[in-house]
Structure 1
């Protein structure tokens, strides 16, 4: 199998382990250069191990009596009227307000899904462009212009739609239901649907794999992507999330300036707790900051699920948990249907043409991963102790199907050393971090060595695909990376191994 095939996005949904979130536990702390203690699921969305059942924490907190508890700085009221909607705008304000009433009828797209959920509202609808309403029927923000993909779908009747994310996307769930929804509404359109979901992956890896998993067959017209769940459970910091999401947007619109983008915020219990406290989860706040800056539409599924559960429409068990049941996935697809109804509610103008989306000259973070790319492992100079394994597969433990029979660079003994020359401001590795991985020591251009513990909380039972960025703020230009295996190791690890699938350069 070629190296490109190592990222082929096809795999069954992973099973999950009881006890992934012990009762009373809180969200993982921000990730440092060591991965020890990171909370990452075997399903890539936070609940892991090769076997077992997902542990559901007790529900805590409610929004009762039709009154919303006070919001923190990341929520704002969009006007002085008590009847007007709330919105995520990532800037200060806020106090308690009366929940807007609901009303309205079902939408055409939403009715394509097996389970029906009431659609458009009046008083709960956001009146200002680019903000999200409070109503569970309108937990989305239509931003910018989605005319380009509409022209491809409605007029040209040929469109490529891609879905990028972790195991929630890789599963035959909301992605499949959304594809069916589009095909039912536009039966004469020839769609090419791309499944770029890979379990365990997050916004850090996504920009680096965009070309190989989202654009392998050429230009994409409409891209849905979700990583808010995995960014939590992979313990990505706010800075990492911003750099990753900004990297996805800038790189996608470099590869196709006309691409329309929609970002989804899927539900997990941590995000639901934030909603019930009148707050916004840090991962959603970070993703929203980038989405608003680039006028990218967003759908807050975590908020919708929480509001519907607290209204008694269903419970978390029926929804299916972090990895939704068919019922939960259908709810996600129905939400996307309502979003598209709102985005495309007016007739397509006769003179509408495909136009490029303008990218801001100044990025939010100058160290975003918008130029992220894979560097072939064969580019490395193997000094000692490393070997190229042409068709690696684990002798013990599981891994993702995308990363079996792939070429890897493997070291198993302390002192093993390699060097890599590269150009850019960032360098890292995509690796299979299994039960026997050790501590990597790395140096740039002869500087003192630093250390990175490859062992994750889930390495004991899974060679988990993990993206490590050694340094994202190097000076522009040419550099040389030196990697060597330390004589030290994590006490939980059974060895001093490293298995590099790709180098990541930006």
Structure 2
């Protein structure tokens, strides 16, 4: 269904009566996040005028990379930062790595304050299209707008650019000249605010069309990582002369797929830097009202101690098996452990309550009840839970106001092996005892006001 028509506000109201989760707009003729966009390598829009000027003037800059595992890899993130450092040798280009594997804009809009804004970046590249692939385009639009508006609430001088990575499942659409639904939703927001975007998929589509690229292969590729990455080196190829993009169809080899990504980045950023767009237009766009009043622009972060804890709970030492150095860097507060029968109750004012938790081998599920709602299950274990990772768990999502929520770890046993994907079930078979506990671990609560 096309949600917004040129007839304006009246059409939007009529459509809202039909939609189960209506997309609310502050302006008549607002962008449509559901329309699939044609593939383009970059869209200049209002550019990145502040970053470009600072680089050209030889200033020190900090660039934040907010995204998922593809950005967390030492690939295009490292390539792009080193490229800018070489292109602007008088400038000092610093990096804020704010990427967390397996997470999308729904968590990004909650953690952007601690992971990005608090570190005062000059520019932010946002990459969530792959991990947002299965989400509703309207929700993507709202959460991405939450990221944008929170960044600009701190400083309208901070330039933002959306970056779109791709996977094997995107290949057919790319070759057909189309963006994914997630990237299309983000493009609608980019249009509204004049935010530039870079789509790595055009480079991939061109190589697929010419028969030069294999999206998924177990080819033996020399894996070079970190500071050793060199985008000037030759791209590795298979014996038949093709470029192996990745092993799993998702995460590019740093010296093949990520080098293709870097080619697209270099072309696109060079065009953005030369665009000549002044900061005046960008400043005006950054003062626009919210496109959707339901976007999460105000987020409060609370330690678990702010809730009323009950049962067997306790602090988790950073050297425990469930912890890692990454978690310590990312967690706003220390982790709490919740054993069977334990949990917390909290009264809060807002419209969304999210628990920043761990998924992993020793995690289980909980019974959650909000206000007078019927109790439901919240799981801290999924098909990838042969290792620990930080994930958001939504406990309440409703109208603004005062609410009460309760979480209690369940005593019901999960068939964890049946839940795990085949490649992760192997770890269960190697050490089933590690999967026996059914605990909960969380470092904070997010309240969207």
Match in the other structure for 1:471 = 396
Shifted more, 424-433 versus 206-215: the winner is 206-215
Q: Residue 359 of structure 2: which of 420, 424, 433 is its match?
A: 433
Q: Secondary structure at the match of 1:363?
A: coil
Counterpart of 1:338 in structure 2 is: 267
Aligned to 1:150: 52
2:407 matched to 1:483?
Answer: yes
Summarize the alignment of residues 203-214 of structure 1 with structure 2, pairs less than 5 Å apart. Answer: 203-214=105-116
Taking the aligned partners of 1:353 and 1:151, their CA distance within structure 2 comes to 15
What SS does structure 2 have at the residue aligned with 1:473?
strand
The answer to whether residue 381 in structure 2 is matched with residue 455 in structure 1 is: yes
Give ranges in structure 2 of 5+ residues lacking alignment. Answer: 1-30, 218-242, 417-434
Q: Are residue 140 (structure 1) and residue 42 (structure 2) matched?
A: yes
**Which residue of 310, 320, 323 corresponds with 2:251?**
323
TM-superposed deviation, 1:469:
1.7
Contact kept? 2:368, 2:405, Cα under 8 Å: yes
Q: What is the DSSP-based 3-state SS (H/G/I as helix, E as strand, rest coil) of the residue aligned with 2:415?
A: coil
- Aligned pairs for 1:233-272 (under 5 A) are 235-272=134-171
Tell me the CA shift for residue 400 of structure 1.
5.5
1:278 CA drift (Å): 5.2
1:301 aligns with 2:230: no
Residue aligned with 2:337, SS: strand
Q: CA deviation at 1:324?
A: 1.6
- What is the alpha-carbon distance in structure 2 between the residues aligned to residue 227 and residue 91 of structure 1? 17
The match for 1:231 is 132
Alignment of 1:384-423 (within 5 A): 384-391=311-318, 393-394=320-321, 401-403=325-327, 407-413=334-340, 415-423=341-349
Measured at CA, do residues 243 and 401 of structure 1 come closer, stay the same or move farther in structure 2, by a change above 3 Å?
farther
In 2 relative to 1, CA 92–185 (structure 1 residues): closer, same or farther, beyond 3 Å?
closer
Cα drift, residue 319 of structure 1: 4.3
Change (3 A) 1:91 1:441: closer
What are the Cα deviations for residues 253-280 of structure 1, in whole angstroms up to 9, with x where unaligned? 1122121111111020111122235543
SS, match of residue 256 in structure 2: helix
Deviates more, 1:494-503 or 1:245-254: 494-503
- The answer to whether the Cα contact below 8 Å between 1:435 and 1:455 also exists between their aligned partners in 2 is yes
Tell me how far apart the structure 1 counterparts of residues 173 and 281 of structure 2 sit (CA, whole Å): 41
How far apart, CA to CA, are the structure 1 residues paired with 2:96 and 2:364?
36
Preserved CA contact (<8 Å) 1:242 1:287: yes
- State the partner residue of 1:188: 90
- Alpha-carbon distance in 2 for matches of 1:298, 1:182: 17
- Secondary structure at 2:258's aligned position in 1? helix
CA distance in 1, matches of 2:139, 2:56: 37
Q: 1:184 to 1:479 in 2, by over 3 A?
A: same
Normalising by the residue count of structure 1, what TM-score does the alignment of the two structures yield? 0.65
Cα offset for 1:156? 6.2
> Offset of 1:387 from its aligned partner?
2.3
Alpha carbon RMSD of aligned pairs, Å? 3.0
Report the count of equivalent residues.
367
Partner of 2:101: 199
Superimposed CA distance per residue, residues 164-183 of structure 1 (whole angstroms, 9 cap, x where no aligned partner)? 11222122211111111111
CA contact (8 A) 1:432 1:464 kept: yes
Query: What corresponds to 1:504 in structure 2?
Result: 446
Deviation at 1:197, TM superposition (A): 1.8
Closer, same or farther in 2 for the Cα pair 1:213/1:90, shift >3 Å?
A: closer
Residue of structure 1 equivalent to 2:174 = 275
> Is the 8 Å Cα contact of residues 392 and 408 (structure 1) preserved in structure 2?
no
Q: Is the 8 A contact 1:148 1:355 kept in 2?
A: no
1:314 to 213, 226, 241: 213
The match for 2:76 among 166, 169, 174 is 174
TM-score by length of 2: 0.73
Cα deviation code 1:474-502 (max 9, x no counterpart): 323x3332111233343227443211122
**Structure 1 residues not aligned, in runs of 5+:** 1-87, 94-130
Give the Cα–Cα distance (whole angstroms) in 2 for the partners of residues 422 and 225 of structure 1: 30
Q: Please list the CA deviations of residues 142-168 of structure 1 after superposition, one character each: whole Å capped at 9, or x if unmatched.
A: 112421222222236232211111222
Distance change in 2, residues 1:444/1:393 (3 Å): same
